[in-house]
Amino acid sequence: MGKESTSNKISIGGQALIEGVMMNGPDGAALSVRHTDGSIITEEFAAKHIKDKFKFLGFPFIRGIVNFIESMLIGYKSLMRSAELSGQLDAEEDTEKMSKLDKWLNAHLSPKVVTAITGIFSVVVAAVCFLLFFYAPTYLVDIVDSKLLGGAIADFHPFCEGIIKMVIIILYMVAVSQMKDIKRVFMYHGAEHKSIFCFEKGLPLTVENVRTCKRFHPRCGTSFIFIVLITNVIISSVTVLIFPVLNSPDLRIIWTLVKILGILPVVTGISYELIRYAGKHDNIITKIFSAPGLWMQRITTKEPTDDMIEVAIASIKAVVPGTDKEASQENE
């Protein structure tokens, strides 16, 4: 079907963190973070997989859903931990650097109340984003079709909704990429990809070698998101063509829930297998369906500095025993 795209068969995944990188290997995970004093702090931790206990959860198409949930949980914990290890939280506690709002909250409210308010605000924001992403495109297409087009695109609502969702995601990524802190996270994202490519090629993990590698990786979460969206558009469109009644206004809410609760898990499983295949092979098919995600990585990854690359290398070495030894042998 195609030639193997890498020489190292060990699978490594990663995630950019606050001033650091987390790597997930076959036997565990580790995160490396650049502290405010300039040192690199590395922590290893066990990344338990439920599929090791329940073998059927590791079957194709099922494992994609399981891995997605697990990666979200591990990623969130790693992100919070990186904020602690980097010393960023300690720096923010400096009252001279606090904003007026932070100073007022710190002076008038207890930490528990502030935490509660933050939690409620986060839930509200998440709910608004959920409605915007899943429901707004549906009703926008309905209004445009009924008021302006007279039902001319009734059979193509899922396709149009999918296009709108992609536009929303692209605009969101472009907007957040302008934030100073997010730019640094995207630079660490680039360091993560480049170091993984270096490792997969079997090259010694040095800053010089990593710097020459690409920062666009087919197994990236950005690519996964776009594969999910594209696959969802295809399956939703075919389903509506087979069962047109689902597209009626009376069933709009029910159909949206079916897409979220019923179709989305299936789409996630299929998309994971496609991404997995793309990461192991290099042929015309993988290049075609990887192209949108790789293009989007021009937004979500940036060229890293050498000190960021050092952090990514430290994280990989922590999860793959023997990398230092292999590097020294090749240098000889």
pLDDT tens per residue across span 141-174: 888 988 888 888 877 888 888 888 888 888 988 9
Between 49-53, 87-91, 195-199, 279-283, the lowest mean confidence (pLDDT) is in 87-91
At 19-37, the pLDDT tens digits run: 999 999 877 899 999 999 9
Q: Determine the residue type at 323.
A: T
Cα–Cα distance for residue pair 196/12, rounded to 1 Å: 7
Question: In sequence order, what are the beta bridge partners of 40?
Answer: 34
Q: What is the pTM assigned to this prediction?
A: 0.80
Place of tokens 């650097």: 97
Residues 6 or more apart whose CB falls under 8 angstroms from that of 257 comprise none
Cα–Cα distance for residue pair 142/235, rounded to 1 Å: 19
Residues 6 or more apart whose CB falls under 8 angstroms from that of 275 comprise 218, 219, 223, 224, 227
The predicted pLDDT at position 3 comes to 38
Cα–Cα distance for residue pair 324/139, rounded to 1 Å: 56
Cα–Cα distance for residue pair 128/123, rounded to 1 Å: 9
Cα–Cα distance for residue pair 258/44, rounded to 1 Å: 40
Helix axes 284-300, 157-176, angle to 10 degrees: 40
Q: Which of 108-117, 127-136, 144-153, 310-319 has the highest mean pLDDT?
A: 310-319
Q: Report the SS3 class of residue 217.
A: coil
